[in-house]
Chains A and B, each alone.
Chain A
Amino acid sequence: MQNFEFANPATLNEALGLLGSQWGEADVLAGGTDLLSLMKEYLHSPKRVVNIKNIKELGGIAKSGTGLRIGATVTLDELASNALVRQMYPSLAQAALEVSSPQLRNMGTVGGDLCQRPRCWYFRRGNGLLGQDENGKSLVTTGENKYHAIFGSGPALFVSASSFGPALVALGAKVTLVSASGKRDVPMSEFFVSPKSNGEREIALKPNEILTQIMIPAAGTNATYEVRHREAVDWPLTSASVNLTMAGGVVKSAVVVMGHVAATPWRASQAEQMLTGKKIDAALAERAGEAAVANATPLSENGYKVQLAKVAVKRAILKAAGLTV
Chain B
Amino acid sequence: MPEYSWPPMNKRAVMGKPFDRLDGPVKASGRAKYSSDLNKPGQLFGMFLHSPHAHAKVKSIDISAAKAMEGVTAIRVIAEPGAELQWAGQEVAVVSAVREEIANDAIRAIKVEYEVLPHVVREELLAKVGSRAKAAGEQVTGDPDKAFKDADAVSEGEYGCPVITHCCLEPHGNVVQWQGDTINLWPSTQAVSTIGGDLAKQMQLPATNVKVQMDHVGGGFGSKFPSDKWGSEGAHLSKASGGRPVKIYLDRANELTIAGTRPSAYAKIKMGASKDGTITAWQSESWASGGLGGGGMPPIPYVFTKIANFRLNHTAVSLNAGPARAWRAPNHPQASFLTCSALEDLSAKLKMDPWDLFHKNMDMSPRPEVYRKQLVKAAELMDWKKKWHPRGSETGNIRRGLGLGMATWGGAGHASKCKVTINPDGSIEVEIGSQDIGTGTRTCITQVAAETFGLPMSAVKVKLGDNAFPASGPSGGSTTIGGVSSSTRKAAVNALEKLFERVAPGLNVAADQLEAVDNKIQQKGNPAKGLTWKQACQKLGVDKISELGENDQRAAAKEGLNTSGAAGIQMAEVEVDIETGIVRMRKMVAVQDCGLVVNPKTASSQVYGACIMSICSALMEERVMDRMTGKVLNPDMEFYKLAGIGDIGEIVVHMDITPENDKRGIIGLGEPCAIGGLAAIANATANALGVRVPMVPLTPDRVLAALSMNRRNA
Contact = CB atoms under 8 A, between A and B. Distances in A.
Interface of A: 1, 3, 42, 100, 119, 121-122, 124-125, 127, 133, 139, 142-144, 146-147, 227, 229-235, 237, 301-302, 304, 307-308, 311
B130 to A, nearest CB: 19
Contact of B641 (A124, A125, A133, A234): A234
Contacts of A124: 636
A229 B582 contact: yes
A307 B579 contact: yes
B647 interface: yes
A229 B624 contact: no
Contact of B644 (A122, A231, A301): A231
A36 to B, nearest CB: 14
B21 to A, nearest CB: 25
Nearest to B647: A231
Interface of B: 101, 104, 108, 579-582, 584, 620, 624, 626-629, 631, 633-634, 636, 638-639, 641-647, 699-701, 704-705
A143 B627 contact: yes
Given A121-B634, A144-B626, A311-B580, 20 more contacts: A42-B108, A125-B631, A127-B629, A139-B626, A142-B628, A143-B627, A144-B624, A144-B627, A146-B701, A147-B639, A227-B700, A229-B641, A230-B644, A230-B646, A233-B644, A301-B701, A304-B705, A307-B579, A307-B580, A311-B579
Contact of B580 (A3, A100, A233, A308): A308
Contacts of B101: 1, 3
Given A232-B647, A301-B701, A307-B704, A133 B639 contact: no
Nearest to A310: B579
Contact of B704 (A100, A139, A229, A304): A304
B628 A232 contact: no
Contact of A121 (B639, B641, B644): B639
Main secondary structure of the interface of A (DSSP, over half): loop
A196 B646 CA distance: 39
A212 B638 CA distance: 29
Contacts of B627: 143-144
Given A121-B634, A146-B701, A308-B700, A139 B628 contact: yes
Contact of B629 (A139, A227, A234, A237): A139
Contacts of A232: 642-647
B699 A230 contact: no
B128 to A, nearest CB: 14
B647 A230 contact: yes
Contacts of A308: 580-581, 700
Which of B108, B628, B647 has the most chain A CB within a 10 Å cutoff?
A: B628
Nearest to A42: B108
Given A144-B626, A232-B647, A125 B633 contact: yes
Contacts of B642: 232
B620 A119 contact: no
A133 B629 CA distance: 8
A142 B580 CA distance: 25
A144 B631 CA distance: 11
Closest 4 CB pairs of A and B: A232-B644, A231-B646, A304-B701, A143-B628
A66 B675 CA distance: 59
A42 B104 CA distance: 11
B626 A143 contact: yes
A304 B700 contact: yes
B455 to A, nearest CB: 43
Contacts of B629: 125, 127, 133, 139, 143
A229 B620 contact: yes
Contacts of B581: 304, 307-308
Contacts of B624: 121, 144
A117 B452 CA distance: 61
A232 B641 CA distance: 9
Contacts of B701: 146, 301-302, 304
A143 B122 CA distance: 12
Contacts of A304: 581, 700-701, 704-705
A18 to B, nearest CB: 23
A139 B633 CA distance: 12
A237 B700 contact: yes
A286 B705 CA distance: 20
A125 B440 CA distance: 39
B626 A235 contact: no
A121 B633 contact: yes
Contacts of A146: 701
A142 B629 CA distance: 11
23 contacts: A42-B108, A121-B624, A121-B634, A124-B636, A139-B626, A143-B627, A143-B628, A143-B629, A144-B624, A144-B626, A229-B700, A231-B644, A232-B643, A232-B645, A232-B647, A234-B641, A235-B638, A302-B701, A304-B581, A304-B704, A307-B579, A308-B700, A311-B579
